[in-house]
């Protein structure tokens, strides 16, 4: 795990690191379960002064990905979204989400964007259930931006002290992040 961490951290010196973060954020918000936070954290630890730029790139990427997920839900539900939901064995979750959208609307996007709940389920559901697009995108920018900028601020101001702590407890942090992601999936099943 430490090798993977150091490899990921080495991206902070790569000229295309921001584009890699952007691409991962796009994919995560639409179809893939790996959160961009891991790369954002590694990049911000490698270059604390660029933390806010990386947060902006992650926010922009996740917003594009959210629009793609929304379009998948709206236009390609049967052809694309349904197989993705079935692949993740998440039809029960999807039906719970449908009821949440009826009850809470855009508030679901705000909560899910900041939490470990898998965001792609929310983006696809928003398109499928016809949530108004402008409030959906605004909620995406606000919630995901708040999440990424909070992480960036902590890492920028934590600097080398935080980097040393992350390196010392990396395995435990990886387990904690994994448990949060799994917990997000479990929250959807409840």
- Tell me: the pLDDT tens digits for 55-73? 999 999 999 999 999 999 9
Mean pLDDT throughout 144-163? 84
| Domain encompassing residue 125 | 2-189
Cβ within 8 Å of residue 171, ≥6 positions away? 1, 2
Mean pLDDT throughout 130-139? 95
Q: Please give the torsion angle defined by the CA atoms of residues 80, 81, 83 and 86, in that order, rounded to the nearest 10 degrees.
A: 180
Q: How many domains does the chain have?
A: 1
pLDDT value of position 171: 66
Q: Which residue has the tokens 């398109």?
A: 127
| Tens-place pLDDT, residues 86-105 | 888 888 877 887 888 888 88
Tokens of 11: 């991206």
Q: Residue 1 above 60 pLDDT?
A: no
Between CA 171 and CA 176 the distance in angstroms is 9
Q: Are 12 and 46 in contact (CB under 8 A)?
A: yes
| Tens-place pLDDT, residues 141-152 | 999 999 899 889
Q: With 0.85 as the threshold, say if the pTM is over it.
A: no
Residue bearing the bigger pLDDT, 33 or 114: 114
């Amino acid at each position: 795990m430490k090798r993977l961490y150091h490899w990921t951290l080495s991206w902070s010196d790569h000229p295309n690191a921001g584009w890699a973060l952007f691409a991962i954020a796009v994919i995560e918000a639409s179809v893939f379960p790996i959160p961009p936070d891991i790369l954002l954290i590694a990049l911000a630890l490698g270059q604390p002064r660029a933390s806010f730029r990386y947060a902006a790139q992650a926010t922009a990427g996740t917003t594009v990905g959210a629009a793609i997920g929304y379009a998948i839900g709206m236009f390609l539900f049967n052809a694309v979204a349904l197989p993705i939901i079935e692949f993740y064995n998440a039809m029960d979750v999807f039906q719970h989400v449908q009821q949440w959208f009826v009850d809470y609307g855009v508030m679901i996007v705000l909560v899910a964007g900041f939490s470990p709940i898998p965001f792609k389920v929310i983006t696809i559901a928003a398109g499928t259930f016809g949530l108004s697009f402008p409030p959906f995108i605004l909620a995406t920018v606000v919630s995901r931006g708040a999440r990424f900028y909070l992480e960036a601020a902590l890492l920028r101001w934590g600097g080398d002290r935080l980097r040393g702590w992350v390196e010392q407890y990396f395995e435990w942090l990886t387990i904690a992040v994994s448990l949060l992601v799994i917990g997000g999936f479990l929250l959807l099943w409840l």
